[in-house]
Amino acid sequence: MANYHQFQSCIDACLRCAAICNHCASSCTQEKDVKMMARCIQLDMECAAICYASAQLMSLGSEKAVELCRICAEICEACGSECKKHQNEHCQECARICAQCAEECRHMASVAA
């Protein structure tokens, strides 16, 4: 497994995505129809969790980082797809950042594999 510096852009993307997903989840709880936002909130929380975990394993140089980053990309895509369905600014921003993170994670996994 490569070291922190080789995957710094992916680590940064994961940490940024986690922060934006947390912001989106929190913002979704303030929407008028919170029940309508339940799937978005759930995926935001899942995405933030996997992004934090991926960044941590990459930072540690873990052999499992590649595998986790592949899963992270899938969850980022699912979260981004859900966020795209909602027209509020925080969801649209989250959708963009999730797509960027998924791309970084896929690139990291292909380079490190």
CA–CA separation, 81 and 94 (whole Å):
10
CA–CA separation, 101 and 10 (whole Å):
7
CA–CA separation, 107 and 9 (whole Å):
10
Alpha carbon distances (Å) from 74 to 1, 3, 4, 32: 21, 23, 22, 29
What the chain holds in terms of domains, given with CATH numbers, is 4-112 (1.20.1270.360)
pLDDT tens profile 67-99: 999 999 999 999 999 999 999 999 999 999 999
Looking at per-residue pLDDT, the higher value among 1 and 56 belongs to: 56
Q: State the pLDDT confidence band at 112, using cuts at 50, 70 and 90.
A: confident
